[in-house]
Amino acid sequence: MAGTWQSGYQIKGVKMMRGLNRSILAGRLVADPEVRYTSNEVAVTSFRLAINRGKNKQGVEEVDFISCVAFGSLAKICGEYLKKGRLIAVEGRLQIRSYEGKDGQKKSATEVVVDEMQMLDAKSNKTAEKEKELVEV
């Protein structure tokens, strides 16, 4: 007898795993992050990561450019400390959203909604100075 679906994610009393949507990326910022605020004054920071995939058969370096977005206090930190060329790691969920473009056409965007960020390269002078200020207070 085949199992039957019950209450969404159960088969014969066994709970099924929901989908897994986690992305962990490491790369360099293509440009300085863009910070903006929602009407509710929530910070939103957008940035793109360049991630090297290595050389293809022709010996040409291949790179992926991944759009990322952070919200709230993490968005403020990203806007303040991240700069073009900085090596970082991010963790978050992949999101595909649709919107209407300026030309009226329906478009879609794929991005990582970041919930954790780690700076991987040597500290810049600005970052070191700010951390020193925080310690001295």
Residue 15 has, within 13 A of its CA and on its CB side, a CA count of 3
Q: How far apart, in whole angstroms, are the C-alpha atoms of residue 98 and residue 106? A: 7
CATH of domain 20-136: 2.40.50.140
Strand order in the sheet with 5-6: 5-6, 10-11, 14-15
| pLDDT for res 89 | 97
Tell me: the pLDDT tens digits for 82-118? 999 999 999 999 999 999 989 999 999 999 999 999 9
Of 17-26, 37-46, 61-70, 80-89, the least confident: 17-26
The pLDDT-based confidence of 129 (bands split at 50, 70, 90) is: low
Of 54-68, 76-90, 110-124, the least confident: 110-124
Q: Are 44 and 35 in contact (CB under 8 A)?
A: yes
The whole-angstrom distance between residue 25's C-alpha and the CA centroid of its chain comes to 8
Kindly tell me if the per-residue pLDDT of 12 is higher than 90: no
Q: Which residues touch 38 (CB under 8 Å, ≥6 apart)?
A: 44
Q: How far apart, in whole angstroms, are the C-alpha atoms of residue 23 and residue 51? A: 13
pTM: 0.74
